[in-house]
A and B are shown apart, each in its own frame.
Chain A
Amino acid sequence: MKPSPITTKLVAALAAVTASTLPAACSSGSSGAAPGPASAGGTVELEFWGWAPGYDQVVAKFNASHPNVRVTFGRTASGSKGGYTKMLTAAKAGNAPCLAQVGYETLPSFAAAGALTDVSTYTAEAKSQFSEWTWNQVTIGGQTYGIPVDTAPMALFYRKDLFAKYGITTPPVTWDEYAADAAKVHAADPTVYLGDFGNDAYNYAGLAWQAGAKWFGTGNDRWQVSLDSAANKKVAGYWQDLLDRKLLKTDPSYDPSLYADLTDGKILSDVNAVWNAPTLAASVKSGAGQWAVAPMPVWDAANPVYGNDGGSATAVLKGCAHPKEAAEFATWMSTDAGSVGDLITVTGIYPAATSGLANPALGKPDPFFGGQVIFEVFRAASAHVATDWQWGPTMTQTSTDLGDGLGRAGTGGATLPGVLADVQGKTLAGMKQQGLAVAAG
């Protein structure tokens, strides 16, 4: 399944070593050449780093229909498992690829590292094809660094048959109902849990996002950090209460133990993003056809707002000699109907392009989910995702610190409000250390 972090880190380290020993063969050589017309004689070569399954197929499709541009796809470890480190190291060494898969959450960190190329001039036409909030995720300080690929509205993945067995007739609509159902299930069988409280910082971010509990903001040319705001304390308090009452399992996120428990019916549901659907289908060894997707529980049933966990862009990295062609490829990848269809079926993305929402691939019933057209749930949710969420420039550190804290909270070594206060302090210190202007917000 997932490559172990150590191998990916080794690969990243090796790549960094090779990168530094080859004195920037391609980038420094070609960056002197004028982009565009200079390439008329031959094909423009672009390198594209990413990890999502299916990206290689899309690249092959692009190459087949675009004789003048040749994109080579290089598979890296997933971003947080070493992929981003490899990209940043390559950017620092001056031989980064032209294109890279970068999550929205990490894009500001890349910008703060000076690892991106502004492609605003080449993407002006594409802008109208995306909703405003997704475009905002790739635009920082008025400069556009790439093209949005997908968004990741969240929902509740659950075992229909086991919900019925424990007397839950309809999936919980509000978080209050979720807590009540969690108590009901655990009372019926102390070895069974309604859900899992994992240690994935971005999944938790989706829960905060939903509640409007912002983490970052900007104002007066300063970053504002508000991880321990009142709104965040409310979310943390809710989950800490469930943890205190031992109503949730605390398997690490995306860990074999979690999938073992989901397979054995020890954990009945998971609040997760749209891209979790293929992962779940591949990792849960039994119960196919018994799974279903419902909207994630909300805070206010009269005015439902949903969370988002992930979503990424095709970013143009520093030193790209052909930003025009790079932007052309990125736009094609996110908007071409054939490409988006592949990305939906193979990668399991939920498209960011507005035209993509009508893609026929989103209307297919999924046998793992008992023939449910699960994207209908996500389409309804995506219309009510809070749109003002902003990511900070040191998300790698913040997510690592928060992940550590969530792990400790899960094993009872810390409480969530305490963890958030701790991460707030560490994030402020880390941003100051990196020379950023920052204030507690």
Chain B
Amino acid sequence: MTTVHAGRTAVRKSVRGSRGPRRHGRTAALFLAPFLLLFATLYLAPIGYTVHQSLFRMRRSGLGLTAPTQVFAGLGNYATALGDPAFRGSLLRVLLIGVVQVPVMLALALALALLLDARSTPFKRFFRLAFFLPYALPGVVGAIMWSYLVAPGLSPVTAAAEHLGLHLDLTSDGMLGPTIGNMLTWGWTGYNMLILYSALQAVPPEIGEAALMDGCSALGVAWRIKVPMIRPALVLTTVFSVIGTAQLYNEPAILHNVAPNLSSTYTPIYAAYNAVDANNFNLAATESVVLAVLAFALSFGFLKLVQRRGVAR
């Protein structure tokens, strides 16, 4: 690793030496310009505008039937958003769903990836495709399908439970979280499995063979050799899943159609979208910023945590 790195630096240095720094800088700028332009206009500007919007609020006079004026609100919108029990509840809810659902899904994805990677597994190509298929389906379509599978009055699961004498309502207040977690797991396990599987493909087979010859069981190879070697892929899928859960919207929004008890502020994005609907763009911007900061803190915090552990090892 270090030798390759040193070699690259050497090459870079020699290129710089032959052409001269100024000309090189101009060429680089030319090549970088399209990226920087798009990055600034499509990425930085919207973020900046959102933060800007979150610091203002609308002032109306009396009945507010004339066009409103925008006034500086400082952190007033943040106080409103964080003081709103519904919004705080939505943040806690995605956190809870994330804490329960992400480990379950990733454990499942890892198990499936290891099974696919095992030498004796039959019909590998079929299973690989079958597990991945839910992800290939547009998320909204999957959500609609699931909403009919859990809707009271339509659900075959509820009907089957009824036959066994059980009353099972998959859209009751207590079941909404598990139902959404189930929809997420169904939709995303295959995707994560594929990432982990491709990482497993890169593990040199001779290491496993050597371990087997040394008397390690197949399970031991999987747990002691393969899993540690695809650690970066596991970290990546975890971070993606954390961000994905923070941005939860499709599943609850679709489920709301069949579960009227699911509130319109169920997740932070749902709440922010409602604020837009209510023409309160400033509050929507504030809620988006709060969510973005939290998602950033969580994913960055997780990365820091695993990096530190990695060093310790």
Known: A433-B280, A435-B60. A252 touches B260 (CB 8 A): yes
Bound Cα distance A221, B260 (Å): 36
Nearest chain B CB to A431 CB, angstrom units = 8
> A403 — which chain B residues lie within 8 A by C-beta?
260, 264
On chain A, the residues within 8 Å of B250 by CB distance are 6
CB-CB under 8 A for A113 and B264, given A6-B250, A411-B172, A436-B60: no
A436 touches B258 (CB 8 A): no
Q: In the complex the two chains form, is A260's CB within 8 Å of B153's CB?
A: yes
Residue of B nearest to A112 (CB): B64
A114 and B67: CB pair below 8 A?
A: yes
Are B144 and A4 touching (Cβ within 8 A)?
yes
The 0/1 profile, CB within 8 Å of B marked 1, for residues 236-271 of chain A is: 000000000000001110011100110000000000
Known: A92-B281, A404-B264, A406-B260. A434 touches B273 (CB 8 A): no
Measured CB to CB, the closest approach of chain B to A217, in angstroms, equals 11
Contact with B273, one of A9, A261, A408 (Cβ below 8 angstroms) = A9
1/0 contact trace for B254-297 toward A, CB 8 Å? 10111111111100000001101111110100000000000000
Q: Which residues of A (106-141) have their CB < 8 Å from a CB of B? A: 108-109, 111-114, 140-141
CB contacts (< 8 Å) of A92 on chain B: these are 281
User: Contacts A7-B140, A404-B264 hold; do A397 and B278 have CB atoms under 8 A apart?
Assistant: yes
Partner of A84, one of B62, B143, B257, B277: B277
Which residues on A sit within 8 Å (CB–CB) of B114?
Answer: none
Quick one: closest A residue to B152, CB to CB? A257
Known interface pairs A218-B63, A252-B260, A435-B59; A88-B279 also in contact (CB < 8 Å): yes
CB distance from B57 to the nearest CB of A (A): 7
Tell me which residues from 69 to 88 in chain A have a Cβ below 8 Å from any Cβ of chain B.
Answer: 84-85, 88
Whether B65 lies near A435 (C-beta < 8 A) is no
Closest CB in chain A relative to B12 CB, distance in Å: 38
Within B165-217, the residues touching A (CB, 8 Å) are 172-173
A113 vs chain B, min Cβ distance (A): 5
How many whole Å from A5's CB to the nearest CB in chain B?
6
A199 adjacent to chain B (CB < 8 Å) = yes
Which residues in A have their C-beta under 8 angstroms from that of B273? 9
Is the CB–CB distance between A435 and B279 below 8 Å?
Answer: no
B36 within 8 A of partner (CB): no
B27 CB-CB contact with A under 8 Å = no
Q: Does A174 contact B (CB under 8 A)?
A: no
Which residues 388-441 of A have a CB within 8 angstroms of B? 393-394, 396-397, 400-401, 403-404, 406-408, 410-411, 413, 430, 433-437
CA distance A358 to B31 in the complex (A): 71
Q: Are B140 and A411 in contact (CB under 8 A)?
A: no
Binary CB contact string for chain B from 49 to 71 against chain A (1 if under 8 A, 0 otherwise): 00000000111111111111000
Known contacts A260-B153, A433-B280, A434-B280; A112 and B257 CB within 8 A of each other? no
Chain A, Cβ-Cβ closest to B256 = A5
Interface of A, helix, strand, loop or mixed by DSSP: helix
The contact size tier of chain A is 35 or more
Across-interface contacts of B257 in A (CB, < 8 A): 4-5, 252, 255
A258, chain B: closest CB distance, angstroms? 9
Q: Are A434 and B60 in contact (CB under 8 A)?
A: yes
Is A379 on the interface with B (CB-CB < 8 A)? no
B253: Cβ under 8 A from any A Cβ: yes
- Specify the chain B residue showing the minimal Cβ separation from A91: B279
Chain B residues within an 8 Å CB radius of A251: 153
Task: Please name the residue on chain A nearest to B147 by beta carbon.
Answer: A4
B260 touches A407 (CB 8 A): yes
CB distance from A27 to the nearest CB of B (A): 15
Tell me whether A223 is interfacial, beta carbon within 8 Å.
yes
Q: Are B173 and A411 in contact (CB under 8 A)?
A: yes
Determine the distance from Cα of A287 to Cα of B8 in the docked complex, in whole angstroms.
78
Distance to closest chain A CB from B154 (angstroms): 6
What count of chain B residues pass the 8 Å CB interface test? 44
Bound complex: CA of A7 vs CA of B144, how far in Å?
12
- Check B65 against A141 for contact (C-beta < 8 Å): yes
Please pick, from B260, B261, B283, the residue contacting A433 in the complex, using a CB distance under 8 A: B283
The yes or no answer to B151 lying at the interface (CB within 8 A) is: yes
Choice from B261, B278, B279 contacting A413 with Cβ under 8 Å: B261
Tell me the bound Cα distance from A92 to B254 in angstroms.
Answer: 27
- The interface residues of chain A lying within 8 Å CB-to-CB of B262 are 407
Q: Which residues of A lie under 8 Å from residue B62 when comparing CB positions?
A: 221-222, 436-437
B307 within 8 A of A: no
Smallest beta-carbon distance A160→chain B, Å: 25
B80 within 8 A of A: yes
Chain B residues with Cβ below 8 Å from A406 are 260
B residues 132-175 touching A (CB-CB < 8 Å): 140, 143-144, 151-154, 172-173
Q: A113 — which chain B residues lie within 8 A by C-beta?
A: 68, 279
Contact with B along A1-34 (1 / 0, CB 8 A): 0001111010000000000000000000000000
Query: A143 at the A/B interface (Cβ < 8 Å)?
Result: yes
Bound-state CA distance A380–B281 (Å) is 43
Residues of B within 8 A of A5 (CB): 253-254, 256-257
Chain B residues near A433 (CB-CB < 8 A): 57, 80, 280, 283
Q: How far is the CA of A89 from the CA of B59 in the complex (A)?
A: 18
CA distance A218 to B62 in the complex (A): 10
User: Beyond A141-B63, A222-B62, is A400–B258 a contact (Cβ under 8 Å)?
Assistant: no
Most buried by B among A88, A318, A406: A88
Kindly identify which residue among B57, B153, B253 contacts A435, using a CB–CB cutoff of 8 Å: B57
- Min CB distance, A399 to chain B, in Å? 10
Contacts of B256 in A (CB 8 A): 5
Indicate whether A413 sits within 8 Å of B277 (C-beta atoms), given known contacts A255-B257, A407-B261.
no
Chain A proximity of B228: nearest CB distance (Å): 40
Q: Enumerate chain B residues within 8 angstroms of A437, measured Cβ to Cβ.
A: 61-64
Top 4 nearest A-B pairs by Cβ distance?
A407-B260, A114-B67, A397-B278, A199-B260
* A-B pairs with beta carbons under 8 Å apart, 5 shown: A5-B256, A6-B140, A394-B278, A403-B260, A435-B58
Residues of A at under 8 Å CB distance from B? 4-7, 9, 84-85, 88-89, 92, 108-109, 111-114, 140-141, 143, 199, 218, 221-223, 250-252, 255-257, 260-261, 318, 393-394, 396-397, 400-401, 403-404, 406-408, 410-411, 413, 430, 433-437
